[in-house]
Amino acid sequence: MDYHNEPVPEQTDELGLPEALDKKKEKKRPRFSVWKWVLLILFIVYFVVTSYRVPLFIKLGEYLVVEHKAQRADLIVCLAGEGVENALAAVDAYKKGLAPYIFRAKEFEPDGLDYLRERIKDYPINFDLFTLAIEGFGIPGEAILSSEDRVGSTIDEARTVRRFVLDRGFKSLILISTLTHSRRAWLTFQKIFKDDDIKMISLPSHYQLFNPQDWWTKRKYTKELIIEYEKLIYYTLAYFM
């Protein structure tokens, strides 16, 4: 018998089913690598942003703006920051008879101010410029209110305003801020006044030329929107949660 020409018997397992002689030669199922998933997700995100970027950008701009119907209140609160836009809006609200007083917090004095005032007497800071602008429209000085507390942020302003409002017995206030700042200002004051029966009305300044419909076409407002969203995220994590 020629054993060299005999076929090799196929190996079987205990159940009699054939086994592969060389398991290393078994075909492996192709795996969809992690990087392929990453590339797919990036492609989908790129497609969505490219196709819907204008409506998305408009929504981003609109979200920052909180504006209510104008109503009478006990106090106009003009937030610090952009002095010209906010001051002009505060003047308009006062001239329309929406409230008899305007409150504006005093910011921390800049470093070096004492030395500067040794050379230039009565050098104005933000609050001085605000007062000058308000009085320039014929609003009497006794209508401009403030406190000795110094502020450095929106949360500081909200806490200062709360102490002032509760001490004076005011029951309603109008918030004047820039358009881009109005969402964060509104949420901050809502948080600080959450346990108080105080009515708040947001009337942001339209003297700021921010437009939710085309802000990304102007470098100034693109930068401002990005920074404001960074601050909004920080405030959400630090104070609102």
Question: pLDDT per residue over 132-177, tens digit each?
Answer: 999 999 999 999 999 999 999 999 999 999 999 999 999 999 999 9
Predicted pLDDT of residue 210: 97
User: In Å, how far are 6, 58, 85, 126, 204 from 89, measured between CA atoms?
Assistant: 102, 24, 6, 16, 8
pLDDT at 182 over 90: yes
Predicted pLDDT of residue 96: 97
Rounded to an integer, what distance in angstroms lies between the CA atom of residue 22 and that of residue 18?
12
H helices present in 175-218, as ranges: 182-192
Q: Residue 51 has which token pair?
A: 């196709």
pLDDT band at 70 (very low <50, low <70, confident <90, very high): very high
Considering 2-11, 109-118, 228-237, the range whose residues carry the highest mean pLDDT is: 228-237
Q: Residues 213-239: what's their mean pLDDT?
A: 96
For the chain, give the mean pLDDT: 88
**Beta strands at 199-202 and 172-176: parallel, antiparallel or unpaired:** parallel
Strand partners, 174: 76, 201
Which domains are seen in the chain, by residue range?
75-240 (3.40.50.620)
Predicted pLDDT of residue 30: 54
Lowest mean pLDDT across 7-11, 105-109, 221-225? 7-11
pLDDT at 13 over 80: no
Say what the pTM is.
0.79
Contact 49, 56 (CB under 8 A): yes
Residue 173, H or E segment:
strand 172-176
Question: b/e map of 220-233 (b: 16 or more CB within 10 Å)?
Answer: ebeebbeebbeebe
